[in-house]
Amino acid sequence: KRLILIGPPGSGKGTQSPIIKDEYCLCHLATGDMLRAAVAAKTPLGIKAKEAMNKGELVSDDLVVDIIDEAMKKPSCQKGFILDGFPRTVVQAEKLDEMLQKQGAKIDKVLNFAIDDAILEERITGRWIHPSSGRTYHTKFQPPKVPGVDDVTGEPLIQRKDDTAEVLKSRLDAFHRQTEPVINYYSTKGVVASLHAEKPPKEVTTEVKNVLSS
Ligand code: AP5
Ligand code: ZN
């Protein structure tokens, strides 16, 4: 399957991705995770992306299109993939269409993580992540066994630099202005399924599985 996950910051894309990935043996391509790794490693890409990310603005279409183009060539992505955080502009969606057309492939489903903005601040400001695995926790909704420590490796958890109430406002603004039109773009193709993303994680997983098995 070839899937796209679209939703505002904190809507649960990164939480559901590992579950869907394991269930359907897909590769998980998260542009935000890839960009954060590039920033941490201070690569030329990371240096270009850092400022926009810290302000909660989108990085340029060219940068992310190149990352995805490269990543989709991996053998592990040939059977199918989950795009988490891409495409985020209509230009990115059009570029993705071109890439897929070359391979004779198409998107099977776009999962729309529909949720009210008001819920997102608490989710974002309580999030803790384990950077190397991408595992995500929440102080209230998904607490680790030991506070500040990854359940599996025992390594320390960190908070994302853009996970403040202030930067969230810009991220939401970018979502409504630049990414919501992408949902309409795919609606006209008849591939969008909307989820009740405000529900607890397990219930969202059930909705996802129902959509993908129908
Ligand atoms: P990115 O990393 O994609 O961030 P985002 O879209 O803002 O999304 P988040 O990762 O914040 O939310 P999520 O939906 O994954 O939430 P999660 O599951 O972790 O992008 C970051 C930046 O990179 C962008 O601002 C931009 O600068 C740049 N960028 C990336 N892609 C780009 C692109 N294509 N073009 C241009 N720029 C790009 O959940 C959040 C919290 O809530 C967690 O703590 C979790 O435990 C908890 N939680 C999850 N689900 C539930 C639930 N159902 N109930 C209760 N709590 C829950
Ligand atoms: Zn995420």
61 compared with 76, residue with greater pLDDT: 61
- pTM as predicted: 0.96
Rounded to a whole number of angstroms, the distance between the first and last alpha carbons of the chain is: 13
Q: Is the sign of the CA dihedral 164, 146, 129, 195 positive or negative?
A: negative
pLDDT score, position 113: 98
Atom in ligand 1 nearest the alpha carbon of residue 89: 35
pLDDT score, position 132: 85
Please give the radius of gyration of the chain, using alpha carbons only, rounded to the nearest integer: 16
pLDDT tens, position by position, 33-65: 999 999 999 999 999 999 999 999 999 999 999
Three-state DSSP at 192 gives strand
Which residue type sits at 11? Answer: S
Atom in ligand 1 nearest the alpha carbon of residue 7: 14
Percent of the chain at pLDDT above 90? Answer: 93
Q: DSSP code of 188?
A: T
Distances (CA, A) of 94 to 44, 70, 73, 88, 99: 25, 17, 18, 11, 9
Taking the centre of ligand 2 as the mean of its atom positions, its distance from the CA of residue 57, in whole angstroms, is 15
Return the bridge partners of 83, or none: 4, 29
Its ipTM equals: 0.98
pLDDT tens, position by position, 152-186: 999 999 999 999 999 999 999 999 999 999 999 99
Mean pLDDT computed over 79-93: 96
Atom 25 of ligand 1, residue of closest alpha carbon = 56
The two structure tokens encoding residue 91: 């230009």
Sole residue written with tokens 């795919």? 186
